[in-house]
Chain A
């Protein structure tokens, strides 16, 4: 019964109190950061608080904090606070006691949709997903200051799943706070954002994932325009087609005639530059039905920011991943599916999000 460590009684107590004090200090830091997250009106401070909380290690051998948030919750609180500061109240944060987490809901949308952030192994940041299907609508990476919408998920969620239940205006309302959030990140916090098919500038190019396009796919759109108000025009350089939809709105599917790669892309032109590609899918059933019927050929590429080894953002590289065909609506011919190779890209192949 001899201890090799010879310490006095006071030393014993002191080492315990030191450890307890350190644990309490950790708790104080945690509380301070939470307060900062909850009350600051400065966006930079808000981001700093959220970032630190996400990485905050609350584990302590001497002092336990049984009640605390998880990293996913801080992402959600960041979204909530940033929108709150901007006076946007279409999204609200609510507790979900059953799962001991925070959830986000749309106030403008009469539906019990529940949104949460989810983290994935070996992937930076967190993924904002509806909790029914867990398909992430966007990825938020605070470390690299990136936000990236996922085109496939947007189409699956809004065009495949929701369009039959509600009108396009409701669905646009659903997207509004998300786009607002992304723009706030870009404007206030110098984030690099990629709105994907939510981009509204007339110059935005929505690239097809498939490396080449059979013209019969365009033929199929053409025959649908017979006896309608819409007209499908040929481009002057025979490099694609332009669907004139009326009121100055036009959807173009083209490739750059000077570009050897013949990368096909959509553009959407409207007088106020307010319509995104997704808006066109939402609003025009002619385009929507054609797109869903030929999704294997027409899926929009999901680019992903590629990160340098030293974790610097360099470029937005076209990546292997594309908006996968939804089996339910697909009528892809066998050989088309078989032919479809991912556009080769420098980035490392990554697993599909959906299977995580």
Chain B
């Protein structure tokens, strides 16, 4: 078996060499880009198809599968490496986002630097995009929506709890009143009971039953009043939590409005982040060259 298997006219060894050369070339270019900290070039190499489509506006370019996976085991390191410039850019364009590298190349996003700011998702450095926590993001979107109608995110819940607290406070405050009423009813009951027995009139029985039911209602209220102050405290704690969330959302809305004008503009900016960022790199690169 000395004859070499053939693939068309090309000997297989040549094909392998060709493929290896492509890989080596790719890695050479990548290595140089890394050495030069030419982040734009690195991004172009890491996702050729996206770069061509969004920066060169060429839709037909496909990723070269022969080289794409070559640095897959380095994604965390590459992400860490590329984050420096990206986060610097983001801190200007999204001044309200803060990042925490919780492990190499992985970044948590925090919305704001205020008291009890929220963790808002992660930053995908290699793909230049925010991966927002959908639950948190939804709250914010909804809060913008409600704000248009002059409403607050937890407004309805807070109103409900406040009303409940008013009612409970009423129960506490009406303790004396209830005691007096109870005394009165008990006297009436005594009187009505004196006239019961075998020949009790149906009217008297109704009266008696009505008194008993009123007394039992008072007892219910008394029971509620006993636990009311604890309940009020609990509700106040809930109101505080809900108000806190409202406050956080109001800080977030203000940041977005101050920076982008509207939530829609913010979303638009997010969609264009890849292109905007890479273009900014080209722009700043040129400037440096111009000044040299």
- Spell out A's residues near B (CB within 8 Å): 216, 218-220, 222-223, 225-227, 231-234, 241, 333
Contact = CB atoms under 8 A, between A and B. Distances in A.
Contact of B113 (A216, A226, A227, A233): A233
Contacts of A227: 250
Interface in B242-256: 243-244, 246-247, 250-251
A223 B114 contact: no
Contacts of A220: 240
A231 B114 contact: yes
Given A216-B240, A333-B233, A222 B116 contact: yes
A319 B233 CA distance: 32
Interface in B82-118: 113-117
Given A216-B240, A333-B233, A222 B113 contact: no
A234 B113 contact: yes
A233 B114 contact: yes
Given A216-B240, A231-B251, A333-B233, A223 B117 contact: no
A217 to B, nearest CB: 10
Contact of A241 (B115, B244, B246): B115
A314 B115 CA distance: 40
Contact of A222 (B233, B237, B244): B244
B117 A234 contact: yes
Interface in B109-150: 113-117
Contact of A219 (B113, B244, B250, B251): B244
A219 B114 contact: no
Given A216-B240, A333-B233, A226 B116 contact: no
Contacts of A222: 114-116, 244, 247
Nearest to A226: B247
Contacts of A223: 240, 243-244, 246-247
A232 B240 contact: no
B250 A233 contact: no
A226 B240 CA distance: 13
B115 to A, nearest CB: 4
Given A216-B240, A219-B240, A222-B247, A232 B233 contact: no
Contacts of B237: 216
A234 B246 CA distance: 17
A218 B247 CA distance: 13
Nearest to B250: A226
B240 A234 contact: no
B250 A234 contact: no
Contacts of A231: 114, 251
Q: Which label, helix, strand, loop or mixed, suits the secondary structure of the B interface?
A: helix
B246 A219 contact: no
Contacts of A218: 115
13 contacts: A216-B240, A219-B115, A219-B116, A222-B244, A222-B247, A223-B240, A223-B244, A223-B247, A226-B243, A226-B251, A233-B113, A234-B114, A234-B117
B113 to A, nearest CB: 5
Contacts of B116: 219, 222, 234
A234 B115 contact: yes
A218 B244 CA distance: 11
Contacts of A226: 243, 246-247, 250-251
Nearest to A244: B114
Given A219-B244, A227-B250, A234-B117, 15 more contacts: A216-B237, A218-B115, A219-B116, A219-B240, A222-B115, A222-B247, A223-B246, A225-B247, A226-B247, A231-B114, A232-B114, A232-B115, A234-B113, A234-B115, A333-B233
A193 B113 CA distance: 38
Closest A-B pairs by Cβ, 10 of them: A226-B247, A223-B243, A232-B115, A222-B115, A226-B250, A223-B247, A241-B115, A234-B115, A233-B114, A233-B113
A64 B114 CA distance: 72
A231 B258 CA distance: 14
Contacts of A232: 114-115
Contacts of B113: 233-234
Contacts of B117: 234
Contacts of A234: 113-117
A243 to B, nearest CB: 9
B174 to A, nearest CB: 22
A241 B240 CA distance: 17
A174 B244 CA distance: 38
Among B114, B115, B240, B244, find the residue whose CB has the most chain A CB atoms closer than 10 A. Answer: B115
Nearest to B241: A219
A176 B144 CA distance: 48
Interface string B219-257: 000000000000001000100100110110011000000
Contacts of B114: 222, 231-234
A241 B114 CA distance: 8
Nearest to A236: B113
A354 B74 CA distance: 70
A222 to B, nearest CB: 4
A219 B240 CA distance: 8
A219 B243 CA distance: 9
B101 to A, nearest CB: 15
B255 to A, nearest CB: 10
A139 B265 CA distance: 61
Contacts of A241: 115
A113 to B, nearest CB: 38
Nearest to A223: B243
Contacts of A219: 115-116, 240, 244
A121 B75 CA distance: 76
Contacts of B115: 218-219, 222, 232-234, 241
A227 B248 CA distance: 10
A290 B116 CA distance: 18
